[in-house]
Amino acid sequence: MTDYAVPAPAQPSLPIEGSAQRFPVHRIYCIGRNYGKHVKEMGGDPKDQPPVFFMKPADAVVPPGGAVPYPLATKNFHHEIELVVALKGGGANVPADKALGLVFGYAAGIDLTRRDLQGLAKDAGAPWDSGKGFDNSAPCSAITPGDAPPSGKITLSINGVAKQDGDLGDMIWSVAEIIAKASELWTLQPGDLIFTGTPDGVGPLLAGDRVVGEVQGAGRVEFTVG
């Protein structure tokens, strides 16, 4: 046993549907705006620019049943329901036609955001970490094993009222393309999670709100804001 000078951090992990094993979280990659129905219907090409990536710390993940307190330092705490990809394989410069071979499974996750701090960072041309990479900012469902990306509805409600209602078919960058693009920037590893962007309808959360997010074929994530 290594003799650490301070207590070693616990390994963040998620449960797996139909299994007693858990999925160990290595890194959490996220992609920015990825639902471009409107851009496409206006004849624009939403792939003119490469996707924007940011990260959350691995221990920002909140497994099912975990607490999501109202975070520090914000007055505008937002929900973003997302399809989450869990990787069993890795590599750099993975071609898109090989990317789905790295996938362990899929989950529903919520990219919780301190929108006011993200806005200040955007205005200042500063990094997004304070807006995106804070404690408990990545609640997730259990992981549903399977390499084929799910299709269907992606929804979120607050206290039973529908707030986000999108379709996975409206993603600009596909799961395979996102994995390929991420692997041009980082060497992906087993245990990585990738949040794939949110449809429209994002908005604020308040203490006491009951949040339920569902991604068809991937999972259901729910919590009450502390």
Q: Which residues form the interface with Mn ion (CB under 5 A)?
A: 80, 111, 198
DSSP structure class, residue 129: H
CB of 120: closest distance to Mn ion in angstroms?
17
- Nearer to Mn ion by C-beta: 94 or 156? 156
- Nearer to Mn ion by C-beta: 155 or 198? 198
CB of 197: closest distance to Mn ion in angstroms?
6
DSSP structure class, residue 102: G
- Nearer to Mn ion by C-beta: 16 or 83? 83
Answer yes or no: are the C-beta atoms of 32 and 128 closer than 8 Å.
no
Name the closest residue to Mn ion (Cβ): 111
Give the whole-angstrom CA distance, residue 205 versus residue 107: 21
Give the whole-angstrom CA distance, residue 80 versus residue 156: 8
Structure tokens at 190: 């087993």
Instruction: Kindly report the length of the chain.
Output: 226
Give the whole-angstrom CA distance, residue 123 versus residue 129: 14
CB of 97: closest distance to Mn ion in angstroms?
26
Structure tokens at 157: 């409600």
Give the whole-angstrom CA distance, residue 69 versus residue 84: 22
CB of 60: closest distance to Mn ion in angstroms?
13
Using alpha carbons, select from 20, 18, 112, 84 the residue that is nearest to residue 220. Answer: 84
- Nearer to Mn ion by C-beta: 16 or 30? 30
Token pair 């301070």 is found at: 6
- Nearer to Mn ion by C-beta: 136 or 198? 198
Structure tokens at 38: 């409107």
CB of 179: closest distance to Mn ion in angstroms?
17
- Nearer to Mn ion by C-beta: 111 or 192? 111
CB of 196: closest distance to Mn ion in angstroms?
8
